[in-house]
Chain A
Amino acid sequence: MNKLKKSTIFAYIVVGFGALIMLAPFYFMFIFATHSNGDILSVPPPLWFGSELMNNIDYLLNALPYFWHNVGMSFYIAIITTALNLLFCSMAGYALAMYDFKYRNVIFAFIMGTMLIPPFLGMIPTALVMKYLGWLNTPKALYIPMACGAMGIFMMKQFITSAIPKELIEAARMDGCNEFSIYWRVVVPLIKPAFGTLGLIVFIGQWNNFMGPLVVMNDMKMFTIPLALRSLQGTGMTPWGAICAGAAIAVIPLLIMFTLSSRRLIDGLTAGAVKG
C-alpha cells in the first residue's frame, strides 16, 4: 500500500515536471503579451500578467494592417486543407484497404516512401511549380499541395481495415450501391472517429505551417498568421510583446478546438493499438 503510494507520487512528479516544461512557453507567451518590451527583456523577466495588452495589440494592428485578414487566411486555408485531406485520404485509404488491384502493394509502399523525404526538400520545387501555374499569392498554392498526405492515407487505411469487414462492403454492393455510394453511405459514417483525429492533425499542421506560406506568399495581405508574425521581426528592434499578443491570438482557436475534442484525438491515436 505504502509502496504503491510512493510510486504514484513519483509518477505524478515526473508527469508534472514534463507538463511544466511543455507549458512554460505557453505561459510566458500569455504573460509577455501583457508587458512592454522593456519589461520583457529585464532580468528577471515578469512572471505575472501586466497591463500592456492593449498597447501591444495596437502596435500589432499598426505594424500588420492586414492582421485580421491574415487570421482569416489562416482559417480559410486550414479548413480547406482539412476538408480535402479528409476526402482524399479516406478515399485512397478505402481503395487501398478494400479493393484488389494490380500493383496495390507497390503503390502503397510508394506512398509510404514519400514520408521518408524531408518536407524541406520539396519546398523549392513546390514553389517553382506554383509559380509556373501562376498560383503564387493565392490560397490554393497552400491547400492543393497539401490536399492529401501519406500519413493520412496510412491512418485511414489502417482504420478502415480494422473497422470495416469486407462482407459489409459486399452487402452494400448487393443492396444496389454503386462504388461511390458504398463509400459515401457505408464507409464514411463508420470512419467518423478517424475523420475527427485526422482532421485535427491536419488543421493544426496547416494552421502552424510556416515554411509553406514562406515560399509561396509574398504579398502581406495573403500572409497566414505565422508568416505575418514573423514579419514583425527583423528590421531593428523586435516587438516581443506584440508578437506574443499575436501568437496568443493565433493559439486561441487551437486551444478551443483541442479542449472540445481532446478525448477524441487521444482515442483516435490509440484506436489502432487497443482495438477490441
Chain B
Amino acid sequence: MAAVTFSNLKKRFGETEVVKSFDLHIEDGEFVVLLGPSGCGKSTTLRMLAGLEEISDGEIFIGEELVNELHPMERNIAMVFQSYALYPHMTVKENIAFGLKMTKVEKDEIERRVKLAADMLELTPLLDRFPKALSGGQRQRVAMGRAMVRTPEVFLFDEPLSNLDAKLRGSMRAEIKSLHQELGTTTLYVTHDQVEAMTLADRVVILKDGFIAQVGTPKEIFEQPANKFVATFIGAPEMNLVNAKLENSQVIIGEQTLALPTTYQDQADCALGVRPSDLYLNPRAIESDAIGKLTVNIDGIELLGATYHIQGTLNGSRFVADIATSDETDVTQETGEVELFFDLHRVHLFDNQEGNAIRPNLN
C-alpha cells in the first residue's frame, strides 16, 4: 500500500490541454473518487497514473517514488476497466492468474492467491468458465479478482459499474466498498455517477474541464460546495440558484429580503442557492433559530410518491421545491403563489463573476 501524489500534472493531446494542473495527495489506504461530467479528463488522469498515457507535464509519486517514466507493471498498480477487458480466450481462472504468471510468481502461490480471491468474490464455481459464459456482474467480479490477486499498491477503477443495470450496480457498489474495507488498498475510482461517488468515497475530487473544482468528503461537497458548478452538479434535483444582491448581510431578491444570521460583505451581483430538499411549506418543520421565507410563483406540481415537486419561478429563475408528502400543509392549487420556508444556515451564496462561494465574515 502507498500514498499517491499528483503534482501539477498536465496532459495535452496536440494543442488541447485536457488535464490542467492537477494537484492531489491521496493518503495511504484512502478511497478517492474522481467525479465529473463526461469528457472532463477523469480517465486521462487515471490512465496517466496507470502508465497507459504519457504525462505531458508534472509529476506523479507512488509512495516516495517518482513513477513518471515507469512501465505500468513497475508501478505495482491494478486497474479495473469499464469494459472489464477480460481475455476472451482464457478461463476465469486463467484470467485471474494471468498477471501473476506474467510476473513469474510461483505456481503454488498463484493457486493459493487465485483461490483466495475466488472465495472472496464467490467465483469458485465459475473458475473454469470462459468470460462469454458469464453475466455482467460476474465479469465485473472476475475483473476485480484479476486486480486483487496481484496485491497492488493502488487500485484503479474506471467507471466499473456503468455497464451494469441499476439493481446490480447497487450491490456491486456495496461489494467494492466492503472489498476496500477488507483489503485497505489505496483506491482511485473514476465515475460520472454522483451516487457512486457519495457512497464510496472517503474524499471526492470534482473535475470540470480538466480543473479540480473541489476536493472534500462527500458531506463537505454536498453541504459546502465551493462554487456554482459543484453546487449544481451534486444533488438531485439540482440546487436552485437565484440572482440576488447582498447588502448589510441581507439577501435581496427583487422585492423580497432575507436577513442572514451571519455577516457578509456587500455584493452587488450574487446568487442565492437553496437545495430543493431544504424547502418546506410548514415553518414548524424546521428546527432553526433563523428561518427564511420566499414567495414563489407556481408553474406546476408533480407527485412522486414520497415527495412532490413544486416547480416554480423566482426572480426569473427556475425554483424547485422537494416537499415530503407527510408535510402537514398541502398545496392544492396548481398556479398562483406559495410561501416556502427554509433554514437560513443552509443557504449558499455565490458570486456571479467567478461562481465561487461567498463565505461569511469571520469577525
What string of 1s and 0s marks CB contacts (under 8 Å) between B40-51 and chain A? Answer: 000000000011
A190 touches B78 (CB 8 A): no
Interface 9-mer from B97-105, B224-232, B237-245, B277-285: B97-105
Q: Pick the contact of B73 from A167, A174, A186 — CB < 8 Å?
A: A174
Interface flag for B21 (CB, 8 Å)? no
B78 touches A174 (CB 8 A): yes
Residue of A nearest to B156 (CB): A174
Interface flag for B83 (CB, 8 Å)? yes
Interface 9-mer from A60-68, A175-183, A214-222, A258-266: A175-183
A190 touches B52 (CB 8 A): no
In the complex, which residues of chain A have a beta carbon less than 8 angstroms from the beta carbon of B83?
165, 167
B103 touches A176 (CB 8 A): yes
A190 and B83 CA atoms in complex are apart in Å by 17
What string of 1s and 0s marks CB contacts (under 8 Å) between A157-178 and chain B? Answer: 0000000010110111111110
In the complex, which residues of chain A have a beta carbon less than 8 angstroms from the beta carbon of B103?
176
Which applies to chain A's interface (DSSP): helix, strand, loop or mixed? Answer: helix
Residue of B nearest to A188 (CB): B89
Interface flag for A38 (CB, 8 Å)? no
CB B53 to nearest CB in A, in angstroms, measures: 10
Q: Pick the contact of A176 from B50, B85, B89, B99 — CB < 8 Å?
A: B99
Interface flag for A122 (CB, 8 Å)? no
CB A132 to nearest CB in B, in angstroms, measures: 43
Q: Which residues 43-76 of A have a CB within 8 angstroms of B?
A: none
In the complex, which residues of chain B have a beta carbon less than 8 angstroms from the beta carbon of A186?
87
A190 touches B50 (CB 8 A): no
B102 touches A175 (CB 8 A): yes
A150 and B82 CA atoms in complex are apart in Å by 34
A80 and B150 CA atoms in complex are apart in Å by 41
Q: Pick the contact of B102 from A167, A170, A176, A190 — CB < 8 Å?
A: A176
Q: Which residues 91-131 of A have a CB within 8 angstroms of B?
A: none
Q: Which residues 232-278 of B have a CB within 8 angstroms of A?
A: none
A43 and B103 CA atoms in complex are apart in Å by 75
B85 touches A177 (CB 8 A): no
A186 and B50 CA atoms in complex are apart in Å by 20
Interface flag for A189 (CB, 8 Å)? yes
A175 touches B52 (CB 8 A): no
Q: Pick the contact of B81 from A171, A176, A177, A190 — CB < 8 Å?
A: A171
Q: Pick the contact of B52 from A174, A177, A189 — CB < 8 Å?
A: A174
In the complex, which residues of chain A have a beta carbon less than 8 angstroms from the beta carbon of B78?
174
Interface flag for B310 (CB, 8 Å)? no
Interface flag for B201 (CB, 8 Å)? no
Residue of B nearest to A175 (CB): B99
Q: Pick the contact of B85 from A170, A181, A190 — CB < 8 Å?
A: A170
In the complex, which residues of chain B have a beta carbon less than 8 angstroms from the beta carbon of A176?
73, 99, 102-103
A190 and B85 CA atoms in complex are apart in Å by 13
Q: Which residues 68-88 of B have a CB within 8 angstroms of A?
A: 72-73, 77-79, 81-83, 85-88
In the complex, which residues of chain A have a beta carbon less than 8 angstroms from the beta carbon of B82?
167
A181 and B52 CA atoms in complex are apart in Å by 17
In the complex, which residues of chain B have a beta carbon less than 8 angstroms from the beta carbon of A189?
89
A165 touches B87 (CB 8 A): no
CB B148 to nearest CB in A, in angstroms, measures: 13
CB A242 to nearest CB in B, in angstroms, measures: 49
Given known contacts A168-B87, A174-B77, A176-B103, what 5 new A-B pairs fall within 8 Å (CB)?
Answer: A170-B50, A171-B86, A173-B72, A175-B102, A176-B102
**Contacts from A to B (Cβ < 8 Å):** 165, 167-168, 170-177, 181, 186, 189-190
What 7 pairs between A and B have smallest CB-CB spacing? A175-B99, A176-B102, A171-B85, A167-B85, A176-B73, A189-B89, A176-B103
